[in-house]
């Protein structure tokens, strides 16, 4: 029998799209998938099987001629389920962050507090976004958030835009378009997700004047670069990296003095919005925004979803005259935030105002966790996994370090204890994949042939789901292996 004949007779065995849609699997999926999408998926599944058979390729590990209509239908049903799963996984879905990276850019940076979630829910229907309920007339968007930011930072005025990148764009456009902006060569940074200082300058229409060198810049370098075209002095927080060794740059107060002397504004892009110092938790490489305001930067921008621990936003604080110019510029209209994020920010800032931020804001709470607290939780999980029956999982505890992430405090490492996992039948990569494709996905990291789970970034109420996933992997290692 020639291969062509084999595949021709097998082609006739391939179930029709209709047959697949009448299967029990399809009937069960219809409720959650919807008829239209299901038909589309069925069409592509049958199409893929037909292509495989035509090309003489194996279907479900068997040559085409070994298949019957029944076995091809079973394979089509299996593919239908996984096609939908794959599609669904590309949508936003909750994951368990067991990486120990508190501000994980790929996992949505700052997780929101319960208070924040409630506030978002409150604002979700109609709300007084631009309405003054006391007078019954039009109100200004963001008033409450702005006044909270002012109170918490000591700044004269505040404004909120889409993110810190938009804040930089707005500030550079309004203050320096058509003129020159002086910046140190040591601060021409790229910050995750394609934010590059030279590109933002170019887009804002300001000419970038670089001074100093990568590792050393002096106050005189700035002074000598000032011309009649200079509009702005800019300092950029290097965020995700540090230059160590033979390195120096002028202090903020030296720059403030120079800016006042030459009557130019000084802009500090602070990146991570840490309102208060967090030295007590071992974070020694970030300045508090309050301190930057006190020293006298004219305008400062920072992110809402980094160390501030709230929703994505770019917060601007500074001199009233400058912030007011930003507020009146048409670009602000394009970069403004919506009601949901204002609600979130308001709730987070209220936590700071009550001095309850470490208890209420997950980012700060996670940073504040001590190694012994994390170890105790890890031990509890370990205890739940102890049993000799069908145990293919090798579990132990290991002292390790968590990171803050998100382009903040790059040199800070927080002591932690991780759950270290190995498996008798799976490689670390297969084990990591099993966890990642769990429902909900559990994201860990691989180190030296083990999968490490750091509970610093896992909510306590997520622990049962974690234990369930590990129990499944422990006893049904072979099934798990077959599906990866």
Which residues contribute to the site for ligand PLP (CB under 6 A)? 163-165, 168, 191, 195, 236-237, 239, 269, 271-272, 303, 314, 407
Residues 316 and 314: their CA atoms lie apart, in Å, by: 6
Nearest distance, CB of residue 191 and ligand PLP, angstroms: 4
Residues 78 and 25: their CA atoms lie apart, in Å, by: 8
Residues 281 and 279: their CA atoms lie apart, in Å, by: 5
- Per DSSP, 187 falls in state G
Nearest distance, CB of residue 19 and ligand PLP, angstroms: 50
Please identify, using beta-carbon distances, which residue of 222 and 302 lies nearer to ligand PLP: 302
Please identify, using beta-carbon distances, which residue of 407 and 477 lies nearer to ligand PLP: 407
Nearest distance, CB of residue 114 and ligand PLP, angstroms: 23
Q: Minimal CA–CA distance to 191: which of 77, 96, 306? A: 306
Retrieve residue 114's tokens: 């319960």
Question: Residue with CB nearest ligand PLP?
Answer: 271
Retrieve residue 101's tokens: 């990276």
Please identify, using beta-carbon distances, which residue of 191 and 226 lies nearer to ligand PLP: 191
Please identify, using beta-carbon distances, which residue of 162 and 416 lies nearer to ligand PLP: 162
Phi/psi class of residue 262: alpha, beta or left (left: φ > 0; alpha: ψ in -120 to 50)?
Answer: alpha
Find the radius of gyration of the CA atoms of the chain: 28
The sign of the dihedral angle between the CA atoms of 116, 119, 124, 127 is negative
Nearest distance, CB of residue 335 and ligand PLP, angstroms: 11
Nearest distance, CB of residue 170 and ligand PLP, angstroms: 12
Please identify, using beta-carbon distances, which residue of 237 and 450 lies nearer to ligand PLP: 237
Nearest distance, CB of residue 472 and ligand PLP, angstroms: 37
| Three-state helix/strand/coil letters over 76-135 | HHHHHHHHHHHHHHCCCCCCEECCCECCEHHHCECCCCHHHHHHHHHHHCCCCCCEECCC
Retrieve residue 54's tokens: 């035509």
Please identify, using beta-carbon distances, which residue of 146 and 269 lies nearer to ligand PLP: 269
Cα of 313 vs its chain's centroid, Å:
13
CA-based diameter of the chain, in Å? 93
Please identify, using beta-carbon distances, which residue of 100 and 405 lies nearer to ligand PLP: 405
Please identify, using beta-carbon distances, which residue of 166 and 438 lies nearer to ligand PLP: 166
- Per DSSP, 179 falls in state S
Nearest distance, CB of residue 147 and ligand PLP, angstroms: 22
> Quick check: helix, strand or coil at residue 296?
coil
Nearest distance, CB of residue 371 and ligand PLP, angstroms: 27
Cα of 401 vs its chain's centroid, Å:
20
Q: Which helix (DSSP H) or strand (DSSP E) does residue 312 occupy?
A: none
Nearest distance, CB of residue 292 and ligand PLP, angstroms: 12
Please identify, using beta-carbon distances, which residue of 29 and 408 lies nearer to ligand PLP: 408
Nearest distance, CB of residue 453 and ligand PLP, angstroms: 27
Q: Check whether the bond before 440 is cis (ω within 30° of 0).
A: yes
Residues 209 and 207: their CA atoms lie apart, in Å, by: 6
Q: Minimal CA–CA distance to 361: which of 116, 85, 9? A: 116
Please identify, using beta-carbon distances, which residue of 192 and 449 lies nearer to ligand PLP: 192
For residue 474, how many C-alpha atoms fall within 13 Å in the half-sphere facing its CB? 19
Please identify, using beta-carbon distances, which residue of 168 and 323 lies nearer to ligand PLP: 168
Q: How would you classify the pairing of strands 413-423 and 450-454? A: antiparallel
Nearest distance, CB of residue 189 and ligand PLP, angstroms: 7
């Amino acid at each position: 029998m020639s291969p062509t004949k084999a595949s021709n007779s097998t082609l006739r065995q391939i179930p029709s799209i209709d047959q697949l849609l009448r299967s029990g699997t399809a009937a069960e999926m219809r409720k959650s998938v919807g008829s239209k999408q299901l038909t589309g998926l069925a069409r592509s599944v049958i199409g893929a099987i037909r292509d495989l058979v035509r090309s003489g390729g194996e279907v479900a590990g068997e040559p085409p001629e070994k298949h019957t209509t029944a076995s091809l239908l079973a394979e089509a049903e299996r593919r239908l389920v996984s096609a939908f799963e794959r599609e669904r996984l590309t949508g936003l879905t909750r994951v368990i962050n067991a990486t120990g990276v508190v501000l994980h850019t790929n996992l949505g940076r700052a997780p929101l507090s319960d208070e924040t979630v409630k506030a978002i829910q409150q604002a979700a229907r109609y709300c007084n976004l631009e309405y003054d309920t006391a007078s019954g007339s039009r109100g200004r968007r963001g008033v409450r958030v702005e006044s909270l930011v002012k109170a918490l930072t000591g700044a004269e005025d505040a404004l909120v835009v889409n993110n810190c990148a938009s804040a930089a764009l707005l500030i550079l456009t309004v203050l320096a378009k058509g003129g020159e902006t002086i910046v140190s060569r040591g601060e021409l940074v790229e910050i995750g997700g394609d934010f590059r200082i030279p590109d933002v300058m170019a887009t804002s229409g300001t000419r970038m004047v670089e001074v100093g060198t990568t590792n050393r810049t002096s106050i005189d370098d700035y002074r000598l670069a000032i011309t009649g075209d200079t509009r702005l002095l800019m300092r950029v927080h290097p965020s995700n990296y540090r230059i160590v060794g033979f390195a120096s740059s002028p202090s903020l107060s030296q720059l403030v003095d120079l800016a006042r002397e030459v009557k130019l504004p000084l802009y500090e892009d602070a990146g991570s919005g840490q309102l208060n110092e967090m030295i007590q938790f071992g974070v020694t490489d970030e300045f508090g925004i309050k301190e930057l305001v006190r020293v006298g930067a004219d305008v400062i921008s920072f992110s809402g979803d980094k160390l501030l621990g709230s929703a994505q936003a770019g917060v601007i604080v500074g001199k009233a005259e400058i912030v007011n110019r930003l507020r009146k510029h048409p670009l602000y209209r394009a970069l403004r935030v919506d009601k949901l994020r204002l609600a979130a920010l308001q709730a987070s800032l209220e936590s700071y105002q009550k001095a309850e931020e470490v208890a209420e804001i997950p980012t700060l709470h996670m940073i504040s966790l001590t190694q012994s607290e994390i170890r105790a939780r890890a031990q509890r999980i370990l205890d739940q996994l102890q049993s000799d029956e069908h145990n293919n999982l090798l579990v132990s505890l290991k002292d390790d370090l968590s990171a803050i992430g998100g382009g903040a405090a790059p040199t800070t490492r927080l002591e932690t204890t991780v759950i270290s996992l190995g498996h008798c039948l799976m490689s670390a990569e297969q084990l990591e994949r099993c966890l990642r494709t769990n429902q909900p996905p559990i994201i860990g990291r691989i180190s030296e042939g083990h999968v490490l789970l750091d509970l610093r970034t896992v909510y306590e109420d997520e622990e049962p789901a974690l234990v369930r996933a590990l129990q499944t992997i422990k006893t049904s290692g072979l099934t798990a292996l077959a599906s990866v």
